[in-house]
Amino acid sequence: MATDSSHSPELTPERSSNPAETAGIDASLRTPLVALIGSALVWLLVASVLGLVSAWKLHTPAFLDACEYVTFGRLQPAQTNAFIYGWGFNAAFAVSLWLMARLSRAALPGCGVLLVGTLFWNLGVTVGIGGIILGFSTSIEWLEMPGFASPLLLVAYALIASWSLVVFRAGRSGQIFASQWYLIAALFWFPWIYSVAQVLLVFAPVRGTVQSVVHAWFSSNLLLLWFGSIGLAAIYYFLPKLLLKPVANYYLASLAFWWLVIFGSWAGISTLIGGPIPAWVQTAGAAASFMLVVPLVIIGMNHFGTLAGRWSALKDNITLRFVAFGAAAFSLVLLAWVLTSIHGIAAVTQFTFVTSAQAQLGLYGFFTMVVFGSLYYIVPRVLNTAWASAPLAGVHFAASALGVILLVGSLAVAGITQGRLLADASVPFAAVTKATESCLFAGTVALLILAIGQLAFALNFFWTLARASACCVKSAKGLLSAHSEAAR
Amino acid sequence: MSADQNKNLSADQSGASDESIQQVHAELVAKKPEPKEGFKTMPLFLLGFVSTMIFVTSIYVVHYRAGFSPMVYDERFDPKTAAGSVAKELTPEQVVAAGKKSFQQTCAACHQNTGLGVPGTYPPLAGSEWVNGSDERVIRILLHGLNGAVEVEGKTFNGAMPAFGKVTGGGYNWNEEKISQVLTYIRQEWGNKSAPITKDQVAEILGKEKARAKSWTASELETFK
Amino acid sequence: MNRAPIIFLGVFFALAFSFVGLVLTNQITYGAFTTHVDEEEGKAFPLPAPGLAAQGKLVYQDLGCVSCHTQQVRRAGFGADTGEHSRGWGERQSVARDYLREERVLLGSVRIGPDLRNLAARKNAEGADFTADWLYRYLLDPKLVVADSDMPRYAFLFKTRQIVGEPSPKALKLPAASAPAAGYEIVPTARGEALVAYLLSLKDTYAYPETKNVYTPPAPKKAGEKKEGHE
């Protein structure tokens, strides 16, 4: 076997392989992706508004407290559900569909099913959020949408996910790349964990604190094995693609995948340390959380090894900037998970804003940032139009990065202060909440900054969409001829 | 290169092709990179790290497994070592606390939480010579109840106290431990300073009065002063 | 890793592993727990909640109180929930059986407000028991009772109405500054009453057999007795 030179085998640029085929795949995804991304962005803005109001209520409880429909206990779940199921899932569908189509190198055979699925999904989320505001909340964290909304979501999911599998089966990819493992895992997992959670918690509840075990299992699987998997799939794809360099230490990636998958689904129990569940279950959860150090190290090696020596590429490439930020955030998420499972630390951080900080770091700092980066790459290729405004993109990144750091930081500081004071019984409870007020205000400011970034992105997207439609209407030959324009 | 190339905002396909991504990475896995100075230590370091993690975590699980029992909620507790001391002795404070709880749930209805009773009907327990007096008498009162007029601290009271012990006609059926706890509590509360009462004492009295099926009167209890 | 079926199977078994190990195992071991029948008291613990309290639980759920309040007491030594030098939020750690009768277990995940598990069994900030009166005033305007409270007002659980004939026995007694206009009284709505009934039913004071499984540190050896058989 001829030994390779000290350089790893090079990746051939797109331009020189088969651009027409790729353009064809992108074009086939245009309508469903526009629908998904459009609805995702609307939900993101809705969630931001809800989030700003509820964050304001945290440090100024008198704000709007006369109205029952916007009491904190209803607004906060409405915000998290809008963010997770409205923004997170629509965006995840969009990114995973595109990734699956590209990596399978198969165009979408038709998009009617997907559009119906998207409609049902958004309908389900709307009904669910409405239900929470009107007082039908189940009060189960991240599953507050009432029981009449979840069947809609499952049906919609079946329609959308099955189409992804259709694309995968239609593909010709002989070798399955890391992104595809994560995508297959995520697509397969979600309906299982969601239906189990709905049945065992809402429709035929199990007895006593077995509910808490099911709930913790669901939440950690949602974060690590749905959002985590799709985010990782995107990072594993975009790093080699944009740096034209294979993933560093790629042969370890499968070990990290299986390790994450096996231990990640047990690790959620670490939130129940000290709780009314048998001690051995708490220990198992904590042990599984410690084991997350292994994928932390390996995935870190994969991502930062690939970025090593190419940091200058971040300057010119907005996708890379978002994706690198997300990769760093993912390492921090796993690290925080490990640390907060240690008894001594959990005694301080449990039941404080530190858990909110962790959730924000995972959902926003990691998943949302990676999705933003992916969308910056996906949208122009699917619409065959460049982004309408470069300054808006710059504003988006700056606002998002700053906002995430400020949000996670202020919540973490608030949480640690709160935890330390809670553990000291001589401090009256009212003093504990008083002490966190300034950090919570900083958190509200952070949410405002994030909202500015989101507005910039939404504006940019709809502007680009308008341009793309105008371009198509103008051109007499329609969609197919747009390819020849790009090829010029 | 148009200005759009900056930040990669245009629609051109400038990245690596998907085909080559998959192919190259598959090759990377198939034939691992040749060992070089850097590479030899990598797998070994990782092997060491992974083994250490498994080892450390296994020790943690074994140490804090709490017997894998669904009845244990404190991870430091080991059911095997504690199996020997099944019937743990309560500390004196725990006895008083348990007696207090029983008192507040039941006795306070008549004798009040303050131990001052209700004038004319329920005698006070605070400073009472009956409470601080002979053990035999006060245990019997609790076991079989007390009927008719009784004089406490110079005043007369005429209530009817039910039987609390496991006696014929008794509706409460408290066991000896519970009775001894309540008595210990009232004998040290509200300024009373008398010795605690043990469940063995109660059991002894119960044995002596096995035949009794009705409550005491004050005159009957004179013998036990 | 090149064959999709292997990945599917592996993914299936990975999730099945945690599902069986966590969900099924726990459902079999302690999901089947029944109430504990106390021979002396002749009752089965945990006691069922009175009807109004059960309705109150639904109000607790629909208003989303779990967003700020937890309902679990951690063991002594883990934070300041119970034990020595603690906030006295419970006599003991909460165990699984405490939640046996609950159709929806609301352990909560953040303490923006204090833990509520033993609200009816502990004292408030002034050292007195929680009463319905105190809770009504607190819900109407927390600052009436606790000056620094960060809890929002739940005035929509009350209604101001004209006094017809005699004032209602349920009318709140408020200080002059917050009292309604003359001839009017503030009474709790049915939801408010139910919620307060629920809060007053929250106490986990029964000592199940498993609550005795508490770790006691080994007694420290005194200096003179360090070696056995030394005497």
pLDDT (0 to 100) of residue B7: 57
| Interchain contact, A177 vs B22, CB within 8 Å | yes
pLDDT band at A75 (very low <50, low <70, confident <90, very high): very high
pLDDT (0 to 100) of residue A105: 85
pLDDT (0 to 100) of residue A479: 56
Q: Residue B22 in contact with residue A19, Cβ under 8 Å?
A: no
pLDDT (0 to 100) of residue B46: 86
Q: Residue C126 in contact with residue C147, Cβ under 8 Å?
A: no
Q: Which of A11, A250, A384 sits opposite B20 (nearest CB)?
A: A11
Return the HEC string of B42-95: HHHHHHHHHHHHHHHHHHHHHHCCHHHCCCCCCCCCCHHHHHHHCCCCCCHHHH
Enumerate the residues of chain B whose CB falls inside 8 A of the CB of residue A471: none
Identify the closest residue of chain C to A253 by CA–CA distance. Answer: C1
pLDDT (0 to 100) of residue A6: 38
Identify the closest residue of chain C to A63 by CA–CA distance. Answer: C152
Whether A391 contacts chain B with CB within 8 A: no
| Helices assigned H by DSSP within A107-209 | 112-134, 150-170, 178-198
Q: Which is more confident, A349 or B222?
A: A349
Select from B71, B78, B80, B85 the residue whose CB has the most chain C CBs within 10 Å, as the one to mutate to test that interface: B71
pLDDT band at A360 (very low <50, low <70, confident <90, very high): very high
Enumerate the residues of chain A whose CB falls inside 8 A of the CB of residue B26: 174-175, 177
pLDDT (0 to 100) of residue B176: 86
Residues with Cβ within 8 Å of A307's Cβ and at least 6 positions away in sequence, in order, are A239, A243, A324, A327
Averaged pLDDT, A24-44: 93
Identify the closest residue of chain B to C26 by CA–CA distance. Answer: B70
Over residues C54-103, the pLDDT tens digits come to 999 999 999 999 999 999 999 888 888 888 888 888 888 999 999 999 99
Q: Which of B26, B72, B174 sits opposite C213 (nearest CB)?
A: B72
Identify the closest residue of chain B to C25 by CA–CA distance. Answer: B70
| Interchain contact, B10 vs A276, CB within 8 Å | no
Residues with Cβ within 8 Å of B177's Cβ and at least 6 positions away in sequence, in order, are B199
Give the Cα-Cα-Cα angle A488, B3, B5 (nearest 5 degrees): 70
pLDDT (0 to 100) of residue B43: 77
What is the number of CB-based contacts under 8 A between chain B and chain C?
37
pLDDT beyond 50 at C228:
no
Identify the closest residue of chain C to A214 by CA–CA distance. Answer: C23
Over residues A327-355, the pLDDT tens digits come to 999 999 999 999 999 999 999 999 999 99
| Interchain contact, C33 vs B70, CB within 8 Å | yes
Give phi and psi for B160, each to the nearest 5. -135, 115
Identify the closest residue of chain C to A185 by CA–CA distance. Answer: C11
- Name the percent of chain A lying above pLDDT 70: 93
Torsion of CA A136, A142, A147, A153, to 10 degrees: 130
pLDDT beyond 90 at A218:
yes
pLDDT band at A476 (very low <50, low <70, confident <90, very high): very low
| Helices assigned H by DSSP within A199-267 | 210-220, 228-243, 253-267
pLDDT beyond 60 at C231:
no
| Interchain contact, C64 vs A206, CB within 8 Å | no
Least confident of A193-197, A452-456, B133-137: B133-137
Torsion of CA C73, C135, C153, A137, to 10 degrees: 50
| Interchain contact, B15 vs A14, CB within 8 Å | yes
Select from B22, B74, B85 the residue whose CB has the most chain C CBs within 10 Å, as the one to mutate to test that interface: B74
pLDDT beyond 90 at B153:
no
pLDDT band at C221 (very low <50, low <70, confident <90, very high): low
pLDDT band at A287 (very low <50, low <70, confident <90, very high): very high
Distance of CA A418 to the CA centre of its chain: 28
Burial class (CB in 10 A: 0-12, 13-18, 19+), B68: middle
Q: Residue A288 in contact with residue A338, Cβ under 8 Å?
A: no
pLDDT (0 to 100) of residue C58: 95
Whether C205 contacts chain B with CB within 8 A: yes
What is the number of CB-based contacts under 8 A between chain A and chain C?
230
Q: Residue B191 in contact with residue B132, Cβ under 8 Å?
A: no
| Interchain contact, C213 vs B79, CB within 8 Å | yes
Q: Which of B10, B28, B56 sits opposite A380 (nearest CB)?
A: B10
Kindly report the nearest CA distance between residue A311 and chain C, in angstroms: 31
> What does the mean pLDDT of chain C come to?
87
Tokens matching residue B215 = 């409550």
Enumerate the residues of chain C whose CB falls inside 8 A of the CB of residue B29: 1
Rounded to an integer, what distance in angstroms lies between the CA atom of residue A95 and that of residue A234? 8
Q: Which of C29, C65, C110 sits opposite A356 (nearest CB)?
A: C110
- B:130-169 residues touching chain C, CB 8 A cutoff: none
pLDDT band at A475 (very low <50, low <70, confident <90, very high): low
| Interchain contact, C15 vs A265, CB within 8 Å | yes
Identify the closest residue of chain A to B2 by CA–CA distance. Answer: A386
